[in-house]
Amino acid sequence: MKGSVNGVYCLRRRAGRALARTLAAGLLAANMFAALPAAASADGYDLSAPAAVGKVLPNDWHISPAGSQVTLGNLPTNGVLSPDGRYLAVTNNGCTTKTEEVSIVDLKTGAKVSSAQVNSSFIGLAFNKTGDRLYVSGGNDGKIYIFSFQGGTLTTAGAVPVPNYPAGLALLPDGKLAVAENMGDKIALVDPGAGKITAEIPVGRYPYQVTVSRDGKVIYVSNWGSGSVSVVDPAKKTESRQIATGKLPEALVLSADGGRLYVANTNSDNVSVIDPAAGKVVRSIDLHFKGLPAGAAPTGLALSPDGGRLYVSLAGANADAVVDPASGKVAGYIPAGWYPTGVLYNAVLNQVITLNGKGLGTGPNPDGPKPGTNAPNQSQYDYNMITI
């Protein structure tokens, strides 16, 4: 995953500590950013400064993320909003089949309201247009899970076989899905109603995330291994071109008018800004933290509805950078939990949501791991979600 083509995270924290092993989804009212004490300027944010309230990480850094907490699943890596903005679905990609689940959060109440366990999952999530179906990439399980969704409750509704470790996915206007085959260097066009793949299109090496233009005529795919974005024509079922980006491109977000595509390059500590019409990168937004040579690790992207702010989750800085897209400059930071893996913007409830993969600090680990024994008891850990 992040930083490794075939890496797997296995994170452990003590359940008895109230805020251990968290998915931290910070909900920040956008119009409060300038006045919010938890949001520091680009010059005033200090990674290693002791926090008045917070947790200490193994490297002696301190974290004090904005918001309150809601317990969720194991290793949250991606989330998607329901079409009405009421619910957040989160894929939790922990290291055992007992801890991989899809969690549902009611964003009005700030509570986890349901979950569904899966054998395996990896990054990909999408609601259908009406919000009564949720599609989840099964990763090592080689399928796309289908759930019915009603009133915050998930019910298993089938699956579609997809080979080669299905990863990121996106909904097309016709109801089909574009799914990255991470180990197959292809994307699959999947008809969930018919329960089958209708086409497979070669793209770059190790495709990861997928997004689609508003009219559905173009599919964009970030390619881990190629350091590029594939531009795909779903009608012709061909890759039109590849656009070189930075190293390990992951998250993608399109501006509302489709005039700019932003790409988070995790191993280059920057965001590539692509002009889709010109088919080239027109700007690189530097995210190196205070001049450090490496390690900011941008993992997720979200745009405010007016396009005036770009939010970038920085896994290595335990914060979200707030960027002015017009100037390409970092305006400030929102403190997050440990290793934020993604960020979303909920325009309906005026919220910024940050997913923290490693949670809040560490604690005792009495149930393992122990050399020479089986895997530790994963039930001793929990995760949660922060809200402002």
Phi-psi region of 275 (alpha: psi -120 to 50; beta: other; left: phi over 0): beta
CA-based nearest residue to 196, from 213, 179, 184: 179
d(Cα 356, Cα 316) in Å, to the nearest integer? 11
By mean pLDDT, which of 113-122, 182-191, 216-225 is the weakest? 113-122
User: Quick one: fold of 30-365+380-387?
Assistant: Methylamine Dehydrogenase; Chain H (2.130.10)
DSSP state of 318: T
List the Cα angle 302/306/310 in 5-degree steps: 30
The tokens for 15 are 């359940």
d(Cα 13, Cα 131) in Å, to the nearest integer? 34
**C-alpha distances out from residue 373 to 31, 369, 377, Å:** 52, 8, 11
Residue that the structure tokens 């779903």 belong to: 234
DSSP state of 129: T
pLDDT digits (tens, 9 = 90+) for 258-288: 999 999 999 999 999 999 999 999 999 999 9
| Residues 5 and 204 sit within 8 Å (Cβ to Cβ) | no
Q: What is the mean pLDDT of residues 23-36?
A: 31
**How many CB atoms within 10 Å of residue 183?**
18
CA-based nearest residue to 1, from 357, 318, 269, 378: 357
Greatest C-alpha distance within the chain: 57
pLDDT digits (tens, 9 = 90+) for 140-161: 999 999 999 999 999 999 999 9
b/e map 12-30, b = 16+ CB within 10 Å = bbbbebebbbbbbbbbbeb
**How many CB atoms within 10 Å of residue 309?**
18
Q: What is the band of 55 on the pLDDT scale with cuts at 50, 70, 90?
A: confident
Percent of the chain topping pLDDT 90: 66
Bridge partner list, 280: 275
Between residues 136 and 96, which one has the greater pLDDT? 136
The tokens for 275 are 């002009």
Domain chopping of the chain, boundaries: 30-365+380-387
Amino acid at 276: P
pLDDT digits (tens, 9 = 90+) for 331-383: 999 999 889 999 999 999 999 999 988 877 666 666 655 665 655 554 444 45
21 pLDDT exceeds 70?
no
**C-alpha distances out from residue 327 to 32, 79, 89, 266, 331, Å:** 21, 28, 33, 21, 10
| Residues 107 and 152 sit within 8 Å (Cβ to Cβ) | no
| Residues 158 and 195 sit within 8 Å (Cβ to Cβ) | yes
Lay out the sheet containing 186-191: strands in order across: 166-171, 177-181, 186-191, 196-202
By mean pLDDT, which of 50-54, 126-130, 251-255, 350-354 is the weakest? 50-54
Percent of the chain topping pLDDT 70: 76
